[in-house]
């Protein structure tokens, strides 16, 4: 590993791993038997594109193999297998069809096979692949398949090896014939308020159509129509929400005016999304 790759590895380690963890560990054989790897490939999704997170169970990454019998390979996260919310998931063989993630084995039986392929961090929008195991499973580059053991002593050749390997990783993604799938999600918190309007409340209005403004030969402030004195009818068109200082902070509108009188009560539901 060259100095420049060490710096990049350290950046992702400090961002994604717990304090004290020096290497990324990938589940191989089972979730309980992680395997450390010093060689990784990383995929980042732009933060302005993923909103709050990438949905677990809705990501599928495809590769096109480079040699021999290597063909098309698809990997998904194992959230549908562990069936609980986590900050990180393992990547396993599988596909997402009509929104349903399905792991599979080489014999096409539905099961999760942990091959130490990669890790998926939904809230970070990052997928970290175990470069060595991905090379063995998919075949990133045939010419360097046996040179990923960090044993090369020629620095120039060694640096070129890593650059070529990274470039071919991108090609294996780009040349895949299968469509890549990913779905983002955004958490929008909301608060519901229930406003009860009792029968004795809000039956009169200061609206000029209800109370005289003094320009129609009537005394200012008197009710315009006599039958509204003892049997008033008003229409509620909106609800205002006030804070502890009696300052208006939000206004909600009803879909259509709602009639109010001494004979009726109302229960209005106001929802604020923020």
* Residue 89 and residue 13 share a domain: yes
Give the residue carrying structure tokens 């909106």.
Answer: 238
Q: Residues 248, 273: contact at Cβ < 8 Å?
A: no
Q: List, for residues 183-228, the tens digit of each pLDDT value.
A: 988 888 889 999 999 999 998 887 777 888 877 778 887 888 877 8
Domain boundary, last residue among 185, 209, 224: 185
Nearest 5°: phi and psi at 253? -105, 140
- Euclidean distance between CA atoms 70 and 52, whole angstroms: 36
* Residue 264 and residue 230 share a domain: yes
* Residue 176 and residue 75 share a domain: yes
- Euclidean distance between CA atoms 90 and 128, whole angstroms: 10
Q: Residues 114, 92: contact at Cβ < 8 Å?
A: yes
* Residue 155 and residue 219 share a domain: no
Domain boundary, last residue among 156, 185, 214: 185
**For residue 85, what is the DSSP state?**
-
* Residue 179 and residue 198 share a domain: no
Q: List, for residues 104-133, the tens digit of each pLDDT value.
A: 766 666 778 899 999 999 999 999 999 989
Provide the H-helix boundaries in 119-209.
Answer: 131-137, 155-174
Give me the number of domains the chain comprises: 2
Report yes or no on whether pTM surpasses 0.85. Answer: no
Domain that includes residue 159, residue range: 3-185
Q: CA angle at residue 104 from 98 to 110, to 5 degrees?
A: 90
* Residue 160 and residue 100 share a domain: yes
* Residue 181 and residue 196 share a domain: no
- Euclidean distance between CA atoms 56 and 79, whole angstroms: 6
DSSP bridge pairs for 24: 37
Q: List, for residues 69-91, the tens digit of each pLDDT value.
A: 457 889 999 999 988 889 999 99
* Residue 77 and residue 194 share a domain: no
């Amino acid at each position: 590993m060259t100095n420049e790759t060490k710096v990049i590895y350290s950046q992702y380690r400090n961002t994604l791993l717990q304090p004290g963890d020096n290497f990324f560990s990938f589940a191989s054989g089972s979730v309980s038997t992680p395997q450390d790897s010093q060689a990784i490939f990383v995929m980042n999704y732009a933060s302005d594109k993923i909103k709050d997170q990438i949905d677990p169970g809705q990501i599928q990454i495809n590769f096109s193999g480079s040699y021999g019998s290597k063909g098309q390979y698809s990997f998904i996260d194992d959230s549908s297998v562990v069936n609980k919310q986590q900050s990180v998931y393992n990547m396993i063989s599988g596909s997402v069809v009509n929104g349903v993630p399905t792991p599979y084995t080489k014999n096409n039986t539905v099961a999760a096979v942990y091959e130490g392929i990669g890790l998926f961090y939904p809230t970070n929008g990052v997928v970290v692949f175990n470069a060595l195991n991905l090379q063995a499973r998919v075949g990133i580059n045939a010419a360097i398949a046996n040179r990923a053991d960090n044993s090369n002593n020629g620095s120039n050749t060694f640096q070129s090896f890593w650059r070529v390997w990274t470039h071919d990783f991108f090609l294996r993604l780009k040349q895949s014939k299968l469509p890549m799938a990913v779905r983002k999600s955004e958490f929008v918190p909301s608060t519901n308020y229930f406003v009860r309007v009792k029968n004795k409340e809000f039956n009169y209005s200061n609206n000029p159509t209800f109370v005289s403004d003094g320009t129609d030969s009537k005394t200012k402030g008197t009710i315009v129509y006599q039958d509204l004195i003892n049997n008033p009818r008003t229409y509620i068109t909106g609800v205002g929400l006030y804070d502890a200082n009696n300052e208006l902070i939000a206004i909600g509108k009803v879909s259509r005016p709602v009639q109010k009188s001494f004979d009726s009560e109302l229960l209005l539901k106001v929802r604020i999304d923020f």
